[in-house]
Amino acid sequence: MRIRRALLFMPGDDRRKIEKGAALGVDSIIMDLEDGVALNRKPEARATTAAALREVDFGRAEKLVRVNPFSIHLWKEDMGETVAARPDGYVLPKVESAHEIRMVDSYLAAAETRYGWPVGSIRLLAIIETARGVANLRDIAESASRLDALIFGAEDLAGDIGATRTPEGWEVFYARSAVVIHARAAGLQAVDSPFVDLNDLAGLSAETRRALMMGYTGKLAIHPRQVETIQAVFTPDAEQIARAKRLLEAHAAHQAAGKGVFELDGKMVDMPMVRAAENVLARARAAGLDVDG
């Protein structure tokens, strides 16, 4: 599964912004046909997005398209106008049931067969941002093999349940935790909600670190200036890598000597700490860092 640390939204009807996003070195670009586009510009956004998929050099960035939700019945038009341009995947907003994922899965399987592409090659990411979506997390997470990630949508969820958004986020904490638990239980990535204050990079960094500590593997970005901060947080630094390697080397040595739990730097080391160190190195490798040389 490819690395998705920062996933940057760009309006699907703005070719210039899509091209700007493609040049940033971001892990994933989401060309938005939903909230970022006015209702009377949806047809233009589909055409612009399809052309960008065919013509823009995205480099290593993943090419994703966010379609409109099932509730307004535009998702088939969105996919019908863009699938031939072969995006890497689709982002599905306001997912509330496994049935929705399976419908899209069947639609894409038919398209892949029609164009001679491997079935399952177009991936899916589902945004959980309603009370019903949270309630159905287990079924959603296990709905289709092409589903790669669950994305948490805090702002829409707060509106759906009548909560007041606060900087601390306790009003959505249960749902934020539940998305991680169900994603990881199903072997999926978990992507955190966007940080809406575009000028507070310190706050963005702090919230992203909290998401990382909760088990999230990435975070949505709503402005290019957020990308570097998000990707830096989800990329282990040299000190973290060295510490993880040292712990794993000590663990291997103690295992070879027939010892289980051991002490390192005044702390007892057991399997949860070993797995945490392995996760640090896995994130570093996924980010393209050489941790084995």
Tell me phi and psi for residue 216, to 5 degrees.
-70, 150
Buried/exposed 123-144: b ≥16 CB within 10 Å, e otherwise: bbbbbbbbeebbebbeebbbbb
195: DSSP letter: P
Which CATH superfamily includes the segment(s) 6-233?
Phosphoenolpyruvate-binding domains (3.20.20.60)
Length, in residues, of the chain: 293
**pLDDT tens track for 116-153:** 999 999 999 999 999 999 999 999 999 999 999 999 99
Positive/negative CA dihedral, 9, 143, 173, 270: negative
Range of lowest pLDDT (74-88, 223-237, 263-277): 263-277
- Per-residue pLDDT at 270: 86
- Domain layout of the chain by residue ranges: 6-233, 238-286
- Per-residue pLDDT at 292: 81
pLDDT at 211 over 90: yes
If pLDDT is split at 50, 70 and 90, which confidence band does 79 have? very high
More confident residue, 242 or 218: 218
Contacts with 109 (C-beta within 8 Å, 6 or more apart), sequence order:
119, 120
- Per-residue pLDDT at 227: 97
If pLDDT is split at 50, 70 and 90, which confidence band does 266 have? confident
User: Any idea which residues carry the catalytic annotation?
Assistant: 270
